[in-house]
């Protein structure tokens, strides 16, 4: 759609310029202004007004398109942030579980070390 509007704007602007180029667009007389405008002048005025309208439509269309892209971008960013927070929560839970298992393993290791030390003391006493 934007390409179409750009081309239409270019064509209408060129037509307005070419229609007025090198010719009289209005007559010198005492008639009211609108009656003094020549056919070439009317073509030029219509093309200029059409170019203005197309330019305004193009800008509105571009603004709507940009707003939609921005909303989609925000939604995507929010979705990614939610997924990242969920993943972070899962990883934190896994870390807590691993830390808990490590604590239990360290306690078991400490108990085995104490048993080993007791056995070593008994062997020393026996020798």
CA 55 vs CA 2, 52, 60, 79: distances in Å? 11, 5, 9, 36
Nearby residues of 50 by Cβ (< 8 Å), 6 or more positions away: 12, 16
Q: What is the pLDDT of residues 60-84, one digit of tens each?
A: 999 999 999 999 999 999 999 999 9
pLDDT interval class at 86 (50, 70, 90): very high
Residue-wise pLDDT tens digits, 98-118: 999 999 999 999 999 999 999
**Is residue 21 scored above 80 in pLDDT?**
no
Residue 80 has what pLDDT?
97
Q: Which residues pair with 37 in a beta bridge?
A: 26
38, 57, 72, 79, 113 from 68: Cα distances, Å: 45, 16, 6, 16, 66
pTM of the model: 0.56
């Amino acid at each position: 759609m934007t390409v179409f509007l750009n081309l239409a704007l270019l064509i209408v602007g060129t037509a307005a310029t070419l229609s007025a180029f090198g010719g009289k667009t209005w007559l010198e007389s005492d008639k009211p202004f609108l009656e003094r405008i020549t056919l070439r002048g009317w073509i030029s005025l219509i093309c200029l007004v059409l170019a203005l309208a197309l330019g305004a439509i193009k800008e509105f269309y571009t603004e709507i398109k940009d707003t939609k892209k921005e909303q989609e971008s925000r939604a995507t960013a929010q979705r990614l942030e939610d997924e990242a927070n969920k993943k972070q929560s899962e990883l934190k839970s896994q870390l807590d579980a691993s830390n808990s298992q490590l604590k239990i393993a360290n306690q078991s290791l400490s108990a085995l070390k104490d048993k080993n030390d007791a056995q070593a003391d008994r062997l020393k006493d026996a020798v």
